[in-house]
Amino acid sequence: MLFIFGLLLLLKPTVTCVEMFCRFNQTDPCYAALGHKLYLQMVTDARDQNLTLFKWIDNKIDGFINVKKNKISNEHESIKNRSEFIFNNGTLIINSVIRTDSGRYRLEIYDSTGTQTHDVNLPVIVEAPVGSVELSIICSGEMRASCSSEGDQLIFSWTLNGQELEDRNNIIHLDEETSGNITCTVNNHVSRGQKIISVNRCPVECSVSVVFVVVWSLEMMLLLTLLGGFHIYIKYCSTHTSGTTTATVTSHLTSTVTDSTSGHVVCSVSVVFVVVWSLEMMLLLTLLGGFHIYITYCSTHTSVECSLSVVFVMVWSLEMMLLLTLLGGFHIYIRYCSTHTSGRKQEEEIAL
């Protein structure tokens, strides 16, 4: 049985997206958030500068934008309706970044004589930002925390009651007794998302299984007593006949039925044997059947709760086995052996 809990939300999921500001003199790649703005600073001041920005498209370099004498020319078709250029800080702003904005850009700077003074490259990588963070706790034999979100190159981190956990996967395994606040943080190069939930130990539903074990054990022990009693009686008495007259002699815990005419013993049953045999068989059945049912219905729960259930089942089973053996075993014995005394009673009545 699988069930999910931890529905108490302490903090609404938060997602923070960074509008990336990149410079052509940086050594690291430039990351851009899909659907957001990208700032590409070419120079600190583009006034009176001659700049040409190229981009590799389909393995070919293509002119992207030209800046000359405070004017923009040859703006590439892919950014014509979603870009702007700030001259006083030399920054190209690309709005609503798309996947095809990824690629390698090349900036060339020329002096007033047309001589190239700078040539620098900058790789741009577009990533989808982190979406809404979903966090849930799952109990299925063990406690697990599962965190998910949309986005590219996701990195997961966890804290439990403020303490950072080493696991960096989106699913982590926790102790069954874990309780408190669990935080899942999801990052990539352009955004960050987080969600916190409060959890308690995995719930246990062994009470249903205990009821089933109790009912099943009661039925099976009654059946075993009946079958065992019949088996013992048939084994010891089936080959004999009562004859015309019989006599019954009881010595301690052994009952013997004797033919009054021939003096031969036709039935002898030890109550001790009945009790011991029944206890052994019922205990075996309880161990095999009861534990099988327990494992089937309780294996998903905590060891502490299940150990209490085992104690309860075992104590109850021993009490019920003893009671059923005393009641059922003696009842079966008396029922099937009492009829053999009729011959002796008749004989005594004739003698009188």
Percent of the chain at pLDDT > 70 equals: 52
- End-to-end CA distance of the chain: give it in Å, rounded: 74
Angle at 138 between CA 178 and CA 13, to 5 degrees: 85
Both tokens of 210, joined, read: 């205990």
Mean pLDDT for 159-188 is 92
pLDDT band, residue 210 (cuts 50/70/90)? low
Domains of the chain: 3-14+131-199 (2.60.40.10), 35-127 (2.60.40.10), 206-351 (no CATH)
Residue 327 DSSP one-character state: I
**Residue percentage of the chain with pLDDT more than 90:** 36
| pLDDT for position 159 | 95
Tell me: pLDDT of 185 over 50.
yes
User: Mean per-residue pLDDT for 182-196?
Assistant: 95
More confident residue, 347 or 277: 277
Q: Using one digit for the tens of pLDDT, what is the confidence trace for 45-60?
A: 888 889 999 999 888 8
Following CA atoms 78, 80, 83, 87 in sequence, which dihedral angle do they give, to the nearest 10 degrees? 130
Do you know the residue count of the chain?
A: 352
- What's the pTM? 0.55
CA pair distance 312, 148, nearest whole angstrom: 41
Mean pLDDT of 226-255: 55
Give the DSSP H or E segment for 12: strand 8-17
Per-residue pLDDT band for 83 (boundaries 50, 70, 90) equals: very high
Average pLDDT along the chain = 75
Confidence of residue 62 (pLDDT cuts 50, 70, 90): confident
More confident residue, 157 or 267: 157
pLDDT of residue 122: 96
